[in-house]
Amino acid sequence: MRKLVSGILSAAMVASLMAVPAVAEETADSTYHVLYSGENSTLNYLVTSTQAEQVCGANTIDTLVEYDNKGNVQAGLATEWGVSEDGLTWTFTLREGVKWVDHTGAEVAEVTANDFVAAMKYQLTPEYESANVQNFFGKIKNAEEYFKGLAGEEGYEEIAFEEVGIKAVDDYTLEYTLEAPCPYFLSTLVYVNNMPAYGPQLEELGESFGTDNEKMYYCGAYYMAEFEPQVKHVYKKNTLNWDADQVYIETIEKTYNTEAGTIGPEMIKRGEVDEASIGADILDAWMADPETSELISKERSDTSYSYFYCMNFNPNFEEEYAPANWKLAVNNENFRKAVQFAVNSIATISISEPNAPQQYQSKTITPVTFATLDGVDYTQNEAFTSLEYQGFDMDKAVSYKEAAMEELTAEGATFPVTVLVKYNPSSNDWDKECVVLEQQVEYVLGTDFIDIVVEAGPSENFLSEVRRSGEYALMKCNWGADYADPETWTDPFYQAEGDDLGYKYQFMRTAINEGTAAAADVQTYFDLVEEAKSYTIDLEARYDAFAKAEAFLIDKAFVIPYGISVSSYICTKLDVFEGQNAAFGISRLRYKGMSIKDHYISMTEFEENANK
Of the candidate residues 71, 87, 261, 391, the single one contacting other proteins (CB under 8 A): 261
Between residues 250 and 438, which has the closer beta carbon with respect to other proteins?
A: 438
How far CA 481 is from CA of 166, 490, 491, in Å, comes to 24, 10, 9
DSSP states of 386-425? T-S--S--HHHHHHHHHHHHHHHHHHT--SSEEEEEEE-T
Minimal CA–CA distance to 572: which of 595, 541, 542?
A: 595
Tell me how far apart the alpha carbons of residues 258 and 274 are, in angstroms, rounded to a whole number.
17
Q: In angstroms, what is the minimal distance from the CB of 277 to other proteins? A: 12
Please answer whether residues 445 and 338 qualify as being in contact, where contact means their C-beta atoms are separated by less than 8 angstroms. Answer: yes
Could you say whether residue 445 binds other proteins (CB under 8 A)? no
Q: Of the candidates 108, 131, 403, 517, which one interacts with other proteins according to CB under 8 A?
A: 131
What's the rounded Cα separation, in Å, for the pair 103 and 109? Answer: 13
* Minimum separation from the CB atom of position 261 to other proteins (A): 6
- Nearer CB in complex with other proteins: 22/537: 22
Calpha distance 227→233 (Å, rounded) = 5
Site track for other proteins across 184-213, x = CB under 8 A: -----------------------xx--xx-
DSSP assignment of 216-249 equals: S-B-SSEEEEEEETTTEEEEEE-TTSTTGGG---
In this chain, which of 179, 431, 530, 531 binds other proteins, going by CB under 8 A?
431
Contact 266, 35 (CB under 8 A): no
Surface-to-core class of residue 74, CB atoms within 10 Å of its CB (0-12 exposed, 13-18 middle, 19+ buried): exposed
Q: Which of 358, 461, 534, 604 binds other proteins (CB under 8 A)?
A: 461
Give yes or no for residue 287 binding other proteins (CB under 8 A): no
DSSP state letter for 463: I
Burial 329-361 (b: 16+ CB within 10 A, else e): bbbbbbbbbbbbbbbbbbbbbbbbbeeebeebb
Q: What residues are paired with 236 via a beta bridge?
A: 223, 251
**Environment class of residue 554 by beta-carbon count within 10 Å: exposed (0-12), middle (13-18) or buried (19+)?**
buried
Do 405 and 449 touch, CB atoms closer than 8 A?
Answer: yes
Give the type of residue at 402.
E
Instruction: Work out which of 95, 141, 148, 548 binds other proteins, going by CB under 8 A.
Output: 148
Q: Which one, 13 or 496, has the nearer CB to other proteins?
A: 13
Buried b (16+ CB within 10 A) or exposed e, 224-253: bbebeeeeebbbbbbebbbbeeebbbbbbb
Q: Which is nearer to other proteins, 257 or 523 (CB)?
A: 257
Closer to other proteins by CB, 106 or 285: give it: 285
Closest distance between other proteins and the C-beta of residue 299, in Å?
A: 19
Measured from the CB atom, the residue of 239 and 439 that comes closer to other proteins is: 439
Residues comprising the chain, all counted: 612
Question: Dihedral of CA 357/363/366/369: which sign?
Answer: negative
Give the residue with the Cβ less far from other proteins, 314 or 440.
440
φ/ψ (deg, to 5) at 391: 100, -175
Of 441 and 576, nearer to other proteins (C-beta) is 441
Element of type H or E holding 79: strand 78-83
Residue from 80, 163, 266, 382 touching other proteins (CB under 8 A): that is: 266
Alpha helices of 124-161 — where are they, by DSSP H? Answer: 143-151
Instruction: Rule CB under 8 A: say whether 432 interacts with other proteins.
Output: yes
Q: Could you say whether residue 106 binds other proteins (CB under 8 A)?
A: no
Among 87, 105, 279, 446, binds other proteins (CB under 8 A): 279
The single residue among 41, 390, 409, 414 that binds other proteins, judged by CB under 8 A, is 41
Beta strands in 439-498 (DSSP E): 450-456, 474-480
Out of 29, 86, 374, 460, the only residue in the binding site for other proteins (CB under 8 A) is 460
Binding mask 333-372 for other proteins (x = CB under 8 A): -----------x-xx--xx--x------------------
Size of the site for other proteins (CB under 8 A): 95
Per-residue binding letters, 52-91, with other proteins (x by CB under 8 A): ----------------------------------------
Q: Which of 80, 96, 153, 162 binds other proteins (CB under 8 A)?
A: 153
Residues 213-232 that bind other proteins (CB under 8 A): 228-231
Among 72, 355, 447, 464, binds other proteins (CB under 8 A): 464
Counting contacts by CB under 8 A, is residue 455 touching other proteins? yes
Measured CA to CA in angstroms, residue 241 lies from 193, 246, 247, 340 at distances of 21, 10, 9, 51
Binding mask 165-184 for other proteins (x = CB under 8 A): --------------------
**Shortest Cβ 372–other proteins spacing (Å):** 28
Nearer to other proteins, 210 or 579 (CB): 210
Would you count residue 257 as binding other proteins (CB under 8 A)? yes
CB of 230 to other proteins, least distance (A): 4
Residue 16 interacts with other proteins (CB under 8 A): yes or no: yes
Q: Is 237 in the site for other proteins (CB under 8 A)?
A: no
Tell me the closest approach of the beta carbon of residue 388 to other proteins, in angstroms: 21
For residue 370, count CB atoms less than 10 angstroms from its CB and return exposed for 0-12, middle for 13-18, buried for 19 or more. buried
- Supply the Cα-derived Rg of the chain in whole angstroms: 27
Among residues 28, 288, 410, 537, which is the contact residue for other proteins, using CB under 8 A?
288
Of the candidates 52, 73, 435, 589, which one interacts with other proteins according to CB under 8 A? 435
Comparison of 175 and 455: residue with beta carbon closer to other proteins: 455
Residues 482-541 that bind other proteins (CB under 8 A): 500
Position among 7, 97, 200, 458 found at the interface with other proteins (CB under 8 A): 458
393 lines the binding site for other proteins (CB under 8 A): no
| Buried/exposed code over 378-409 (b: 16+ C-beta within 10 A; e: otherwise) | bbebebbeeeebeebbeebbbebbeebbebbe
Q: Which of 244, 324, 463, 520 binds other proteins (CB under 8 A)?
A: 463
